[in-house]
Amino acid sequence: MYVLQNNLLYISASNLDAATYQVTYQLKILTTAFFTVLILKRRLNTMQWLALLILLLGVLLVQQADPSSKSLRTLDQNRQLGFLSALGAALFTGFAGVFLEKILKSSDVSVWVRNIQLSLVSLPLALCTAYVNDGTELSSKGFFYGYDFFVCFLILLNAVGGLTVAMVVKHADNILKCFATSLATLILSISSIYLFNLDLSLQFILGVILVLVSSFLYNYRVSPPIIVD
């Protein structure tokens, strides 16, 4: 599931600008909530369901907007393919995350051992996919062709991020993890203006605001009234 998710994310990132990609991928909160109710039998309150609906509305607004990037105008991007890939990745992320949470919390096996077990299954699948699609180039140029500083840095980030996510899932839950990472949406949208000369429309900004508002609404807890005798 995570191998398929990663490949879909690369396809999505190749066909969407960074900010749109990040906001669209926040649909993983909705899919995670759905599988949490379905698999873990947890109940969501009215405020949480409202937050999920606001999230969906925010993502739809972002998708309808068309932010232009002067520096990326020459790239041949397919927004429909990018959106469908992000949607598929969100679906796989939601199911895999909830299933991983069930595994981690129903056994005494450590997070580190579980990550090694997952890698033993995912690595052969990823290698087979790589050789099926790029076998000729891998044979002629070698497996490590194209490895530069940025590629190695991205690998390190993914490794640390994977271990961090596993720890959060172990000690909290998947939905909380999704909303915690949704703050990256705001950071990425702001940085995209300077890094990629992205022109954000009013509709796009409104969609991002709705996604952030849904994050706070979902985690909002009403404090019980203090009774003074």
Phi, psi of 74, rounded to the nearest 5 degrees: -80, -15
Higher pLDDT, residue 140 or 105: 140
- Mean pLDDT for the stretch of residues 27-37: 85
Rounded CA-CA distance 154/149 in Å is 9
Whether pLDDT at 125 is above 90: no
- Mean pLDDT for the stretch of residues 53-75: 65
Whether the model pTM is above 0.85: no
Whether pLDDT at 147 is above 50: yes
Nearest alpha-carbon partner for 207 in 176, 178, 182: 182
- DSSP three-state, residue 201: coil
pLDDT band at residue 221 using 50, 70 and 90 as cut-offs? low
Whether pLDDT at 225 is above 70: no
pLDDT value, residue 226: 40
pLDDT band at residue 66 using 50, 70 and 90 as cut-offs? low
pLDDT band at residue 25 using 50, 70 and 90 as cut-offs? confident
pLDDT value, residue 61: 78
- Mean pLDDT for the stretch of residues 195-218: 76
